[in-house]
Amino acid sequence: MAFVGQIALILIATLLAAAISQRLGMPAVIGQLIAGVILGPGILGVLHNTELMHAGAEIGVIILMFIAGIESDLDLLKKYFKPAISVAAIGVLFPMIVFYGYGQIMGQGFERSIFWGVIFAATSVSISVEVLREFKKLNTKEGATILGAAVVDDIIAVILLSIFVSSFGVSGSGSSNLLVATLYQLMYFLGVIILVKWVVPVVLRVAERLPVHGSVAITSLVICLTMAWSADALGLSSVVGAFFAGVAVSQTKFQDEISSSVSSVGYTFFIPIFFVSIGLDMEFNNVIKNLGFIVIMTILAIATKLFGGALGAWITKMNWSSAFIVGSGMVSRGEMALIIAQIGLSANLMAKNLYSEIIIVIVLSTIVAPMLLKKTMKV
């Protein structure tokens, strides 16, 4: 039952931390992320990233992106899809080049230098989504571009990982595996179109007729979790599936009902666990020794996505003010970079003595991202 006590601690800590953050004029999510750092092994050591904690956090980010999809404007997403591709492409290119170069300077060798680029090319906009929601900016051209770029970015990250594994793999089947995976992912997106247009509206209308309280909301969660699971099974991030499940729901008459029900479940339980879990990966054993490395890496992590994303948006005729909002919305690395880093460590593609420092950089860039986004939105 220790986990129940930990959940109670997370909920009260995130509630108080969010209130303090907002009182100080910062996004509420900042306080929740810092609460995880303080309660985690880095400082107090009260909470640890156990299997149950990881599962709760995974459900939390899925629900968060499901809500983002429900509240999104599909017409707006279509309209700004071209800028989204530009933002994602240049936002991946900048960190790949810069981190490869810095890895070479640090004597990491060819493979590990490239892998640094792969880690920091990934984006996780779940944190940015929360800030956009808080400041009512989700359904704007900047918000739609950030969400669209996040989906494209995720596909690019998966392809980069696949190419990387196939390039350094023992067998020669890497290219065929990559082709098969890409075909499956294309089929998935074709399935998404069918679900959005025809399947989900019919399923929810059937659910409405069931003599069970909350049948529509429960059915929507089944759709969300199924699409998240299937996306993950095909090598995409589960948040991509959750987001498109939300978009499908947004096209039905049940949008408001489902948003209200799911938000109640998400924001009172699972989403706080997700925000806290990010801070739990932070440890400070060699911080003083490698402080220079951490500072430089954090600056590069922020700058490459900020300026890469902004340039991608500016090329598509956005003004610089909007472009920097988009760029700052792409800075957060979150769970996507953490997952890639863990894969790299297990595959010996990262130096073990620098793993903790890389995790600190990922968490720091994730904490800075919402503050940067708020700042650019006010300019």
Q: How many CB atoms lie within 10 A of CB 251?
A: 14
Lowest-pLDDT choice from 107-121, 178-192, 321-335: 178-192
- Give 132-150 as a DSSP string: HHHTT-TTSHHHHHHHHHH
How do residues 345-358 score in pLDDT, each as one tens digit?
A: 777 778 888 888 99
Amino acid (one-letter) located at 241: G
The pLDDT mean for the chain works out to 88
pLDDT single digits (tens) 178-203 = 677 778 888 998 999 999 889 999 99
DSSP symbol at 172: S
* 86 pLDDT more than 80: yes
Name the nearest CA neighbour of 133 among 141, 148, 123, 143: 143
pLDDT one-digit tens code per residue, 59-83: 999 999 999 999 888 888 888 989 9
pLDDT score of 175: 52
Angle at CA of residue 369, ends 113 and 263, nearest 5°: 120
Q: Where are the alpha helices (DSSP H) in the chain?
A: 2-23, 28-39, 51-70, 74-79, 81-105, 109-121, 126-134, 141-168, 174-194, 200-208, 215-233, 238-250, 255-265, 271-279, 291-315, 320-329, 334-346, 352-378
Structure confidence at residue 166 (pLDDT) = 56
Where residue 303 sits, what CATH number does that domain have?
1.20.1530.20
pLDDT for 84 beyond 70: yes
CA atoms of 17 and 23, how far apart (whole Å): 10
Lowest mean pLDDT of 86-90, 106-110, 162-166, name the range.
162-166
Query: What local confidence, expressed as pLDDT, does residue 98 receive?
Result: 97
- In whole angstroms, what is the distance from residue 355 CA to residue 344 CA? 9
- Cα–Cα distance, 367 to 276 (Å, whole number): 11
Q: Give the pLDDT of residue 150.
A: 84
CA distances from 148 to 96, 123, 138, 312, 365 (A): 20, 12, 12, 13, 21
* Whole-angstrom distance, CA of residue 235 vs CA of residue 285: 33
Residue 165 pLDDT class (50, 70, 90 cuts): low
pLDDT given for residue 296 in this prediction: 96
Q: Residue 264 above 90 pLDDT? A: yes
Its domain, for residue 164, covers 2-378
Average pLDDT over residues 122-144: 87
Indicate the pLDDT class of residue 171, thresholds 50, 70 and 90: very low
Residues in Cβ contact with 177 at an 8 Å cutoff, skipping those fewer than 6 apart = 162, 166
Provide the number of structural domains found in the chain.
1
pLDDT-derived band at 173 (thresholds 50, 70, 90) equals very low
- Residue 162 confidence class, pLDDT cut points 50, 70, 90: low
Residue 164 and residue 184: Cα distance in Å, rounded?
19
- Does the pLDDT of residue 28 top 90, yes or no? no
Residue among 61, 74, 51 nearest 249 (CA): 74
* pTM metric for this prediction: 0.82
